[in-house]
């Protein structure tokens, strides 16, 4: 029997600089992909993996995330009274979908520091971390794909994807070997220079960790960019205990930058049952 896996940390305190001015007063996690904010896709993906306890690590200006997952009594009764029952169901389901706690990251010291802010809430359990601006659309939820390797091994598991050589400087890149049909990660490096990556496999914002990761994070020095890097703590973990990688099956959109965001909205918009066809003809007319 594996230790229960119920909790997921969503670091959501970043300033969204790649999206200014849109993110000056709106958290980037609340930017909509078709008709749902990015963060809701991430939460639904975690839920589909049976991980129903969420902690959001937020910062200044992130109140909209809390409001989104809270009951909106006024809106719900208005929808009810005006007979908009389908919309009422959609809206009220969001506030019921998951148990969420919030913690503030008071200083912008990096992703590793954001995860560390949630440590008291995690306790001694294995837990997930999910970066919502990496949107993954798949038949089996990306977190569930990680969970399957966790159930098999009991070790930490990281979601991976192949990336073009020119993009390795945007990601945490891994050094992996095959072992008993699994990918075992020996090392990883945060944003290596082009030509200096140990492989073409990048970490794409989905992680399951044993609690040891948090102890290592607490003593991880600032790394590249002067930030406490999650990748540096994972590298230390991989030197101590098995850390596995999973090449995620599905479509991935880096929705945290304008081009990836537009791509996600266009592709998912074209598939939308209600207005996909209309969008297709608008695009055709404008080519």
Binding residues for ligand G1P (CB under 6 A): 111, 131, 134, 171-172, 190, 202-205, 230-231
Nearer to ligand G1P, 49 or 230 (CB): 230
Q: How far is the CB of 233 from ligand G1P (least distance, A)?
A: 11
Compute the distance between CA of residue 283 and CA of residue 56 in angstroms, rounded to an integer: 37
Q: Which is nearer to ligand G1P, 126 or 204 (CB)?
A: 204
Report the distance separating Cα 196 and Cα 69, nearest Å. Answer: 42
Q: Which is nearer to ligand G1P, 37 or 172 (CB)?
A: 172
- Nearest CB to ligand G1P, comparing residues 88 and 261: 261
Q: How far is the CB of 133 from ligand G1P (least distance, A)?
A: 7
Number of alpha carbons in the 13 Å side-chain half-sphere of residue 241: 14
Least CB distance to ligand G1P at residue 43 (A) = 18
Q: Which is nearer to ligand G1P, 88 or 209 (CB)?
A: 209
Distance CA(247)–CA(250), nearest Å, equals: 9
Q: For residue 16, give the 3-state DSSP assignment.
A: coil
Own/partner pairs for 277-285, CB < 8 Å, 24+ apart? none
CB of 88 to ligand G1P, least distance (A): 35
Write down the least CB distance from residue 227 to ligand G1P, Å: 8
Kindly state the tokens that stand for 153: 């091994």
Let me know: does 219 contact 131? Beta carbons within 8 Å.
Answer: no
User: Whose Cβ is closer to ligand G1P: residue 111's or residue 117's?
Assistant: 111
Residue nearest to ligand G1P (CB): 172
Q: Between 65 and 134, whose beta carbon lies closer to ligand G1P?
A: 134
Query: 177-205 burial string, b = 16+ CB within 10 Å, else e?
Result: eeeeebbbbeebbbbbeeeebbbebbbbb
Burial of 135 (0-12, 13-18, 19+ CB in 10 A): buried
Minimum Å distance from CB 118 to ligand G1P? 16
What the block records as the tokens of 52 is 């129903």
3-state DSSP call for residue 124?
A: coil
Q: How far apart are CB 87 and ligand G1P at their closest, in Å?
A: 33
Q: How many whole angstroms separate alpha carbon 102 and alpha carbon 117?
A: 10
Q: How far apart are CA 223 and CA 113, in angstroms?
A: 11
**What is the separation of C-alpha 54 from the centre of its chain, rounded to a whole number of angstroms?**
12
Cβ proximity to ligand G1P: between 192 and 211 the closer is: 192
Centroid of chain to Cα 245: 16
């Amino acid at each position: 029997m594996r230790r229960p896996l119920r909790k997921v940390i969503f670091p959501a305190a970043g300033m969204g600089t790649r999206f200014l001015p849109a993110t000056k007063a709106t958290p980037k996690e609340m930017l909509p992909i078709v008709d749902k904010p990015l963060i809701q896709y991430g939460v639904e993906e975690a839920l589909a993996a049976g991980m129903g306890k969420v902690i959001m690590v937020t910062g200044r200006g992130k109140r909209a995330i809390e409001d989104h997952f809270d009951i909106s009594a006024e809106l719900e009764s208005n929808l009810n009274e005006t007979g908009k029952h389908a919309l009422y169901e959609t809206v009220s389901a969001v506030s019921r979908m998951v148990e969420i706690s919030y913690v503030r990251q008071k200083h912008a010291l990096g992703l590793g520091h954001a995860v560390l802010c949630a440590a008291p809430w995690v306790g001694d359990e294995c837990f997930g971390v999910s970066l919502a601006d990496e949107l993954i659309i798949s038949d089996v939820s990306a977190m569930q794909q990680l969970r399957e390797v966790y159930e098999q091994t009991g070790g930490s598991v990281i979601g991976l994807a192949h990336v073009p050589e020119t993009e390795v400087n945007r990601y945490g890149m891994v050094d992996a070997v095959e072992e008993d049909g699994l990918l075992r990660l020996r090392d990883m490096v945060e944003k290596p220079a082009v030509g200096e990556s140990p492989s073409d496999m990048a970490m794409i914002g989905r992680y399951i960790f044993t609690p040891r990761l948090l102890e290592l994070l607490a003593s991880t020095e600032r790394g590249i960019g002067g930030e406490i890097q999650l990748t540096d703590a994972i590298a230390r973990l991989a030197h101590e205990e098995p850390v596995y990688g999973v090449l995620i099956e599905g479509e991935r959109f880096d929705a945290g930058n304008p081009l990836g965001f537009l791509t996600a909205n266009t592709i998912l918009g074209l598939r939308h049952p209600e207005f996909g066809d209309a969008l297709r003809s608008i695009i055709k007319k404008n080519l």
